[in-house]
A and B are shown apart, each in its own frame.
Chain A
Amino acid sequence: MSAHTLDVRRLLCPMPVIRTQNKVNELQAGDTLVVSCTDPGVLNDIPAWCRINGHKILSTKEHDDEIIIEVEVC
């Protein structure tokens, strides 16, 4: 189990989801990924992508214009 980060700030949806997907596909079950984003669309899209593909959202934080989403690979 290891922790990973991904910076997709400034990218517009669906790019943050694509990058998250591609990164998650390289990881193992139990790994975590913290994704830093700026497009508010991710608040919908990353959780939707996780639901569809069976991964878990551990937390979502909004701070100034930045959104941090933590995903657990399942």
Chain B
Amino acid sequence: MSKQYKAAALISGGLDSLLAAKVMLEQGIHVEGINFYTGFCVEGHTAAIRKKHQDKAKRNNALWSAEQLGIKLHIVDIVEEYKDVLINPKHGYGANMNPCLDCKIFMVKKAKQWIEENDFDFIITGEVMGQRPMSQRKEVMPVVVNESGAGDILLRPLCAKNLPKTRPEIEGWVDRDKLLAFHGRNRKPQMALAKEFGFEDYAAPAGGCCFLTDENYSTKLVDLWQARSSRDYEMDDIMLLKIGRHLRPKPYFKLIVGREEGENKFMQGYTKTYTNIKTVSHAGPLCLIDGPADKDDLLFAAQMVARYSQGKNEDNVILSINQPNAEPYEVSVKPLAASEIKQEWHV
């Protein structure tokens, strides 16, 4: 009996990686999925923090893809190692803070390590030549091959016929004739193939998998780095950038104000580590303070929070100010007028 070759498929949860893995399964290859978690991945569950999204189906698209394919999925936490990719991308950023090319190189490099440890033969990705402006241009396809160290064991089944032969093709592990020659931004061929394979209800066809491609998120990340004079972050930082209204009245501190019950509830988990302000006399949002605000700053912040409470038109709103390792205290303040909250404070 001939050997069954084994491929590790990078599964993002999107359509392309789903199709690439399926094309390999159709050729009798044993496929297992690897999904890398950078901390910036957009998950339905993060959206679910906000109450209004809670009726939406919550699913992890990478797990969903693996289940459709009937393959195992290994989710790998790369949050710490990814920092260097994001902070010092050799190839720079895309339209926002997305270091797509360095990210791809890094993930393929990690996949190569994984296949060596797990005795797999090659790596597959759902890349399509010319589809993404930064990481899938024709000129950069070999950059990923070379800089990741994967060399000829990196196969892109969806566009393999447009690329030089890889080892799985040369050695006959896979049949090159049955691979594809997709290229460019037109998604119709992928959609037709999905239909042929019977895939329905797959995740949005292109992009949208990563907060770093989001302009608002990227602005908040850059603001955080500027305020701290350091391009670094912790997991809490990047989670909190996803939620709440962010206002920076002074360069050294900002307010994160919950916009609804779901966010307030989620932010509650941070009240032991962050200074926070809660309304007492009226219903209102929870506010976390990020940065070294002093007593006067906190009083001013309380006036801002009162503005977002149900007492916004009252003369006085009572709020409690809670700091880690200090006694909580209450303040009574006049809410700021809407016009006093400057537009440039909104991050």
Contacts and interface: CB of A to CB of B under 8 A. Distances in A.
B59 interface: yes
A18 B45 contact: no
Contact of B239 (A12, A40, A65): A12
A56 B98 CA distance: 38
A12 B43 contact: yes
A40 B48 contact: yes
A49 B73 contact: yes
B56 to A, nearest CB: 11
B46 interface: yes
A41 interface: yes
Contact of B37 (A14, A39, A40, A41): A14
In the complex, which range does the number of interface residues on chain B fall in? 20 to 34
Contacts of B337: none
A27 B193 CA distance: 40
A41 B77 contact: no
Interface in A10-64: 10, 12-15, 17-18, 21, 38-41, 43-45, 48-49, 51-53
A12 B242 CA distance: 12
B43 A41 contact: yes
Contacts of A65: 265
B67 interface: yes
B216 interface: no
Contacts of A21: 74-75
B43 A52 contact: no
Contacts, number: 67
A48 B59 contact: yes
Contacts of A14: 35, 37, 41, 43, 60, 62, 75
Contacts of A49: 63, 73, 75
Contacts of B72: 52-53
B66 A52 contact: yes
Interface residues of A, number: 21
Contacts of A39: 45, 48
Contact of A12 (B45, B64, B74, B75): B45
Contacts of B43: 12-14, 41
A65 B37 CA distance: 25
Contact of B58 (A10, A44, A51): A44
Nearest to A42: B45
Given A12-B46, A52-B66, A44 B60 contact: yes
B207 interface: no
Given A12-B45, A45-B59, 11 more contacts: A13-B43, A13-B45, A13-B46, A18-B76, A40-B45, A43-B58, A45-B45, A49-B75, A52-B66, A52-B72, A65-B265
Interface of B: 35, 37, 41, 43-46, 48-49, 54, 58-60, 62-64, 66-67, 71-77, 239, 265, 269
15 contacts: A12-B43, A12-B239, A13-B46, A14-B37, A15-B77, A17-B63, A18-B76, A38-B269, A39-B45, A41-B44, A41-B45, A44-B59, A45-B60, A48-B64, A52-B73
